[in-house]
Amino acid sequence: MSAKHPASAAPTPPGAALMPPPARPEDETGDHLTVVVRHAGRGLDGTYKVSCHPTAGTHPDAAGACRTLDANTQWGRDTFAPVAPDSVCTLVYGGPATARVTGTWAGRPVDAAYDRGNGCEIARWDRMVPLLPDLGSPA
């Protein structure tokens, strides 16, 4: 009695076993972020991907975003830390724009929310330009 092989089984091409499997998002290593911007205005809203070291992604200024992230990264300090709850902030409204940054930076998970609801939040947003869109100073 001979063994039957399924018709869909094709022989493995030589060397195929040596190739790594295709990359999956959950297998990403290094610095990679997803930025979701809302209510910032025409041409600014959207979802952007950026990877650094090496620079890649769909972000309109991935190289600038990576430079800004590197400049704002200090050992022992959360690059994406929220404004401290006891901060004294000016009552300046910077508009309805919001952003959410998720992913991995400097080997740590990131899940940070941004808005422009007061002077402290505006300054926090502006420190991340061009990772976040440049919305200028409030009128």
Say what the pTM is. 0.78
Is pLDDT at 20 greater than 50 in this prediction?
Answer: no
How confident is the model over 27-58, as pLDDT tens digits? Answer: 456 799 999 999 999 899 999 999 999 999 99
Query: 80, 36, 40, 41: which is closest to 58 by C-alpha?
Result: 36
Is pLDDT at 110 greater than 70 in this prediction?
Answer: yes
Q: What angle do CA 89, 92, 98 make, to 5 degrees?
A: 95
Residue 31 in tokens: 């610095």
Is pLDDT at 88 greater than 50 in this prediction?
Answer: yes
Could you tell me if 131 and 31 are in contact, meaning their C-beta atoms sit under 8 angstroms apart? no
pLDDT band for 118, please (50, 70, 90 cuts). very high
